[in-house]
């Protein structure tokens, strides 16, 4: 094998040195190359060739010298035109400088180099999310410790969720995932000292909110602390979960049907229906991931069986292509009204159908295939009945049927619906990457259609942020479908190409720091591996930083995302720490942290292990 003009050792030592190869070095190295030397010296033809080579080198050296014209025209004195004209008069060169060589890395090394640069960008961005979490916690701790939520502008606390210190419990597993050990200690010790007495002393709580935020938070912190974070005692978390779970079971035992009441009175140990007698469909069907896991770790099946009765019952109720009204009566056990939507009161019914099936799919003793079928049918119903495209630019959105199957379609989409892209993607690949699912031939036609819808909807959800002056989404958007209201109320970002597709009404312009879009971006990034989802997430995070951060600590909800500066609403919802910042942190981090084929996230972003797959983290 002929030798290289420079050694490979040099290349490995420092590539940059070899980016520019001097003629002299290249030629002299080839002359001193031993094999050339030996063969040249050994014959007279060789000597002749050597002579020719030396005269060639001399000739090249002379031709390569700068032209006299250029030497007499100093670059500093000549105008640009003079300089270029002179240059153009030069005789064409026979010998040109060799181009700068790219670094001599193998394609593999090149890829690694690029991705490590990219990785470090995301490590820094993830760090920014951690800083935001610290800022949120420090505001809460300074002004509202022990209250449910922080009012960051007026610097005080408020109990909007029954007074169980909801922010502390919602934030605990986020702090664990981020490795914020001081916060973990503070939160755990507050829970250990206060939570049981709060459960015994406080009044009315909502069954759903308390289950997803408080019970869900305790359970995932329990799981993450087993054999891991020793500043939290998992046994303590399990004991408190049982106390709370038992109290919440009153909502089931007080009802004469499998549909639980919506409110539990903790101190009095009773449960009652909401004033209008109805429960929300999403609320009664968004308890089971938590109750099932509590049965799993406590060994007591009662939580599982009460929760699952709701879904078994709902299985037999009439539906519109799998779609259900947003209210249900615990007295009759029947759906109430005809209003069908995937926004408030409907959303997580669909989310939990697939997630409970995933959570339980490895159990041999139960057959929950019916949940998978209910989900598949419902998503067909969504695609058939609720999905439309806006005009003029064709954003895909999910609307509503406020008067049921026979009534008019409403092009209204709550920000809450933005959970759907993530759930659709998860349901399609079951947590695998899209590439792997395709290679393994695992996607059905429904899965493929759902995945496509997931990607289209994720774009729409992102554009709901992009279209406003603040870069933050409103609570509710309407989509243009008839060409009316062309100059109707819009988001204010005149450089958005979707300005006329998205209508934002006066009363819908608030932003509560909600997580659904960044949640879906996290799923789509992990599943499709498309980097654009991370970039979108970063843009959203920057908008939160710019407009919702309160200097003295915490982040605030806004009254109007279409005006700058946006008026503040003075509330930091618990899900900003429990969900929004957690999903952003996971979006910017490694995909194998809490992998989607081993964990299901409850609707409040609390990761729970898929039964039979994970014993410890």
Residues annotated as part of the active site: 209, 347, 475, 516
- Residue 220: other Cβ atoms inside 10 A: 29
The reply to whether 607 sits near ligand DMJ by the rule CB under 6 A is no
The reply to whether 125 sits near ligand DMJ by the rule CB under 6 A is no
Write down the least CB distance from residue 456 to ligand DMJ, Å: 21
Write down the least CB distance from residue 349 to ligand DMJ, Å: 10
Q: Residue 396's beta-bridge partner residues?
A: 389
Which of the residues 555 through 584 are near ligand DMJ (CB under 6 A)? 575, 579
Distance CA 291, CA 216 (A): 9
Nearest to 342 by CA among 453, 216, 247: 453
Pick 322 or 346: Cβ nearer ligand DMJ: 346
Write down the least CB distance from residue 508 to ligand DMJ, Å: 15
DSSP class of residue 38 equals: H
Cα 304 to chain centroid, rounded: 29
The reply to whether 515 sits near ligand DMJ by the rule CB under 6 A is yes
Scored b (16 or more CB within 10 A) or e, 371-387 reads bbebbbbbbbbbbebbe
Q: Which residue is nearest to ligand DMJ, using beta carbons? A: 603
Backbone angles phi, psi at 393, to 5 degrees: -100, 0
- Out of 130, 250, 603, 611, point to the residue binding ligand DMJ (CB under 6 A): 603
Distances (CA, A) of 272 to 204, 267, 344: 10, 13, 21
Pick 296 or 347: Cβ nearer ligand DMJ: 347
The reply to whether 514 sits near ligand DMJ by the rule CB under 6 A is yes
Pick 357 or 390: Cβ nearer ligand DMJ: 357
DSSP 97-117: PPPPPPP---HHHHHHHHHHH
The reply to whether 604 sits near ligand DMJ by the rule CB under 6 A is yes
Which of the residues 29 through 58 are near ligand DMJ (CB under 6 A)? none
| # residues contacting ligand DMJ (CB under 6 A) | 10
Write down the least CB distance from residue 229 to ligand DMJ, Å: 24
Burial class (CB in 10 A: 0-12, 13-18, 19+), 105: middle
Q: Within 13 A of 114's CA, how many CA atoms are on the CB side?
A: 8
Pick 130 or 345: Cβ nearer ligand DMJ: 345
The full length of the chain comes to 617
**Does 494 count as an annotated binding residue?**
no
Burial class (CB in 10 A: 0-12, 13-18, 19+), 486: exposed
| Residue with the two structure tokens 């001399």 | 58
| Residue with the two structure tokens 């003009």 | 5
The reply to whether 348 sits near ligand DMJ by the rule CB under 6 A is yes
User: Is the separation of the CB atoms in 241 and 210 below 8 Å?
Assistant: no
Pick 499 or 504: Cβ nearer ligand DMJ: 504
Distance CA 63, CA 59 (A): 6
The reply to whether 423 sits near ligand DMJ by the rule CB under 6 A is no
Pick 500 or 603: Cβ nearer ligand DMJ: 603
Q: Which residues contact 387 (CB under 8 A, 6 or more apart)?
A: 396, 397, 398, 399, 453
The reply to whether 281 sits near ligand DMJ by the rule CB under 6 A is no
Nearest to 232 by CA among 194, 199, 198, 191: 191
Pick 180 or 579: Cβ nearer ligand DMJ: 579
Segment near ligand DMJ (CB under 6 A); pick from 7-15, 378-386, 456-464, 511-519: 511-519
Q: Which residues contact 357 (CB under 8 A, 6 or more apart)?
A: 368, 369, 371, 372, 375
Pick 188 or 280: Cβ nearer ligand DMJ: 280
Nearest to 259 by CA among 210, 207, 213: 207
Site string for ligand DMJ, 168-207 (x = CB under 6 A): ----------------------------------------
Distance CA 440, CA 425 (A): 16
Write down the least CB distance from residue 492 to ligand DMJ, Å: 23
Largest CA distance in the chain: 112
What does the block give as tokens for 318? 């009439």
Sign of torsion over alpha carbons 358, 359, 362, 367: negative
Segment near ligand DMJ (CB under 6 A); pick from 5-13, 187-195, 421-429, 513-521: 513-521
Segment near ligand DMJ (CB under 6 A); pick from 112-120, 512-520, 522-530, 534-542: 512-520
Distance CA 231, CA 310 (A): 37
Segment near ligand DMJ (CB under 6 A); pick from 104-112, 388-396, 514-522, 590-598: 514-522
Provide the H-helix boundaries in 467-580: 516-528, 532-548, 574-575
Write down the least CB distance from residue 556 to ligand DMJ, Å: 16
- Residue 513: other Cβ atoms inside 10 A: 23
The reply to whether 493 sits near ligand DMJ by the rule CB under 6 A is no
Write down the least CB distance from residue 290 to ligand DMJ, Å: 12
Pick 560 or 604: Cβ nearer ligand DMJ: 604
Known binding site: residues?
603
Known binding site for Ca(2+): residues?
603
User: Interface residues with ligand DMJ (CB under 6 A)?
Assistant: 212, 348, 416, 514-516, 575, 579, 603-604
């Amino acid at each position: 094998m002929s030798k290289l003009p420079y050694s490979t050792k040099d290349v490995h030592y420092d590539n940059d040195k070899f980016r520019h190869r001097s003629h002299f070095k290249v030629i002299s190295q080839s002359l001193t190359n031993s094999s050339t030397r030996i063969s040249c010296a050994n014959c007279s033809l060789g000597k002749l060739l050597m002579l020719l080579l030396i005269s060639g080198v001399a000739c090249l050296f002379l031709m390569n010298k700068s032209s006299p014209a250029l030497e007499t025209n100093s670059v500093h004195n000549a105008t640009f035109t003079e300089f270029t004209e002179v240059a153009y008069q030069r005789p064409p060169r026979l010998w040109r400088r060799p181009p700068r060589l790219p670094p001599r890395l193998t394609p593999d090394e090149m890829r690694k180099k690029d991705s490590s640069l990219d990785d470090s960008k995301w490590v820094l961005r993830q760090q920014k999310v951690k800083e935001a979490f610290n800022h949120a916690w420090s505001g809460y701790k300074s002004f509202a410790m022990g209250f449910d939520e922080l009012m960051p502008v007026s610097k005080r606390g408020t109990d909007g969720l029954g007074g169980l210190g909801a922010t502390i419990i919602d934030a605990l597993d986020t702090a664990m995932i981020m490795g914020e050990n001081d916060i973990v200690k503070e939160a755990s010790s507050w829970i250990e000292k206060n939570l049981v007495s709060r459960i015994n002393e406080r009044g009315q709580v909502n069954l759903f909110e308390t289950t997803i935020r408080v019970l869900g938070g305790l359970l995932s912190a329990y799981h993450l602390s087993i054999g891991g974070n020793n500043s939290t005692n998992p046994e303590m978390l399990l004991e408190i979960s049982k106390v709370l779970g038992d109290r919440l079971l009153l909502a089931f035992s007080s009802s004469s049907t499998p549909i639980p009441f919506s409110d539990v009175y903790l101190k009095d140990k009773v449960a009652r229906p909401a004033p209008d007698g109805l429960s929300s469909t999403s609320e009664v069907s968004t308890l089971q991931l938590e109750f099932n896991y509590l049965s799993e770790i406590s060994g007591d099946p009662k939580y599982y069986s009460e929760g699952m009765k709701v879904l078994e019952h709902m299985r037999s109720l009439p539906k519109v292509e799998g779609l259900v009204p947003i209210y249900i009566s615990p007295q009759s056990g029947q759906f109430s009204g005809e209003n069908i939507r995937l926004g408030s009161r409907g959303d997580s019914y669909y989310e939990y159908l697939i997630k409970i099936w995933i959570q339980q799919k490895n159990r041999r003793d139960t057959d929950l295939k019916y949940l998978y079928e209910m989900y598949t049918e419902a998503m067909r119903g969504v695609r058939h009945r609720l999905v439309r495209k806006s005009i003029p630019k064709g954003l895909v959105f999910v609307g509503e049927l406020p008067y049921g199957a026979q009534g008019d379609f409403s092009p209204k989409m709550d920000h809450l619906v933005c959970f759907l892209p993530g759930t659709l993607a998860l349901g399609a690949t079951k947590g695998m990457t899209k590439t792997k699912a395709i290679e393994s031939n695992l996607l059905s036609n429904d899965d493929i259609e759902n995945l496509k819808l997931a990607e289209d909807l994720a774009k729409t959800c992102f554009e709901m942020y992009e279209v406003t002056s603040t870069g933050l989404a409103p609570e509710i958007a309407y989509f243009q479908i008839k060409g009316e209201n062309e100059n109707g109320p819009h988001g204010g970002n005149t450089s958005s190409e979707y300005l006329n597709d998205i209508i934002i009404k006066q009363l819908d312009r608030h932003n509560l720091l909600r997580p659904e879009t960044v949640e879906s971006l996290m799923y789509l990034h992990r599943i499709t591996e498309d980097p654009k989802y991370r970039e979108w997430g970063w843009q959203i995070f920057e908008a939160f930083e710019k407009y919702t951060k309160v200097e003295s600590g915490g982040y605030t909800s806004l009254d109007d995302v279409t005006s700058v500066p946006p008026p503040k609403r003075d509330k930091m919802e618990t899900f900003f720490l429990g969900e929004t910042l957690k999903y952003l942190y996971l979006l910017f981090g490694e995909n194998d942290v809490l992998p989607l084929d081993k964990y299901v996230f409850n609707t409040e972003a609390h990761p729970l292990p898929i039964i039979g797959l994970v014993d410890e983290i």
